[in-house]
Amino acid sequence: MSVTVIRDAESDWREVSGDWPGKAKAGEPRVLYKMLLPMAPGRPNVQRSRYEPHHFEPPHSHPEDEVIYLLAGGLTFGSEVLGVGDALFVPKDTR
């Protein structure tokens, strides 16, 4: 296995797909993301996401573990309130 360098500036911001359940509707806060390291066997998917203020993510789960690290702003997850520098680990299949 070799070392991989990921450069944020080399990735473009994208809109989430139209069939994504959390897709913003007209007038709702948008979600943008950068695919920094696409998922492949033996390595994680690494992406950077930008949620506009007041975005609400409907309850859902993922088939893989997820780590959310806050670079700016804040996040409320259940009763937890997170800020810049905080991280949230969500095990796979956790709703």
pTM of the model: 0.78
Q: What is the pLDDT along the chain (95 residues), one digit of tens a residue?
A: 688 899 999 999 998 877 776 666 777 778 899 999 988 888 888 999 998 888 888 888 888 889 999 999 999 988 999 999 999 999 999 98
Angle in degrees, CA 61, 9, 69, rounded to 5: 35
**Identity at 88, one-letter amino acid code:** L
Return the structure tokens found at 86.
């905080």
